Amino acid sequence: DEIVILLGTGMRISELYGLTKSDVDFQKGVVRIERQLTRTRNCEYYIENPKTESGFRQIPMSAEVQRAFHNVIRSRKSPKVEVIVGGHTGFLFLDKDGKPKVAGHMEHAMKRIVDNYNKSHTDKLVVTPHVLRHTFCTEMAQAGMPVKELQYLMGHADANTTMNTYTHMSFEAAKQALHKRMPSSHKTQESQEYQESQESLKSQHSPKSSESQQSSEPHYMAESGASSIPAISHHISGLA
């Protein structure tokens, strides 16, 4: 359910795990993003505001996302003690010990999913949780959503960050599709040219904010493109 929600909303993982039941409005069909939940190495929880003022937003929920939230709320077990962080309690996503989840939980869960997938498939995946957010951005852009509306949903302060995210993922998908069809004798040269093109893209789109820096970091996806990520959904289980 968490992966379905991330793929269907584009929210950051820390925003997802900062949600409480009151943030999900089924009547209006939106989820409100107002905070991020994080944890220190000493296992101390704390609340952060979204990365920018633009991070405060309401994201419309598709029917699939609403079903996923219903599943989460229905299956959530009340812990012996509800953790209070920064005046907020009742976090939707809990681990097996009844404590709020943080980004590390998703990273470990994604690693298990990808490892299980790679054991039985020749098209090896290298997928990080942040790719889910980038995939949402790419799919909305390819569906024709105007940049300003997509910028709002992503919570980007700068529309250039939104376009940089889309450009990176689209270029990566096109490169990998071409690579699969290219004769092996040309792949070495193609790989070198790809590296040069990546350097060119980075110089053209230098990051302008902390969010831009995060978006410019390398993220990987399946060779068949963004659409391959939902294909491994049947491997998703036990995300605690």
130 among known catalytic residues: yes
12 among known catalytic residues: yes
Distance of CA 29 to the CA centre of its chain: 20
101 among known catalytic residues: no
Task: State residue 230's pLDDT score.
Answer: 41
Q: Pick the catalytic residue from 101, 156, 168, 205.
A: 156
Distance of CA 51 to the CA centre of its chain: 15
Identify the three-state secondary structure at position 48: strand
Q: How far apart are CA 19 and CA 23, in angstroms?
A: 6
pLDDT tens digits for range 59-89: 999 999 999 999 999 999 999 999 999 999 9
Q: Pick the catalytic residue from 35, 39, 51, 105.
A: 51
**Closest listed residue to residue 86, CA positions, set 34, 32, 51, 41:** 34
Task: State residue 56's pLDDT score.
Answer: 95
Identify the three-state secondary structure at position 46: strand
Q: How far apart are CA 183 and CA 168, in angstroms?
A: 24
pLDDT tens digits for range 162-220: 888 766 666 666 666 666 666 654 445 555 555 665 565 555 544 444 444 443 333 33
156 among known catalytic residues: yes
**Closest listed residue to residue 83, CA positions, set 95, 73, 72:** 95
Taking 70 as the threshold, does the pLDDT of residue 32 lie above it?
A: yes
Q: Pick the catalytic residue from 35, 130, 168, 219.
A: 130
Q: CB within 8 A of 121, min separation 6: which ones?
A: none
Q: What percentage of the chain exceeds 90 in pLDDT?
A: 44
Q: How far apart are CA 35 and CA 57, in angstroms?
A: 10
Q: What DSSP line would sit under 53-108, residue for residue?
A: GGG-EEEE--HHHHHHHHHHHHHPPPPSS---BTTB--BS-B-TTS-B--HHHHHH
Q: Which runs of consecutive H residues, i.e. helices, occur in the chain? A: 2-9, 13-17, 63-75, 103-119, 130-142, 147-154, 159-181, 184-204, 210-216
Q: Name the pTM for this structure.
A: 0.69
51 among known catalytic residues: yes
Q: CB within 8 A of 48, min separation 6: which ones?
A: 14, 35, 36, 37, 38
pLDDT tens digits for range 83-111: 999 999 999 999 999 999 999 999 998 88
Q: Is 32 exposed, middle or buried (0-12, 13-18, 19+ CB in 10 A)?
A: middle
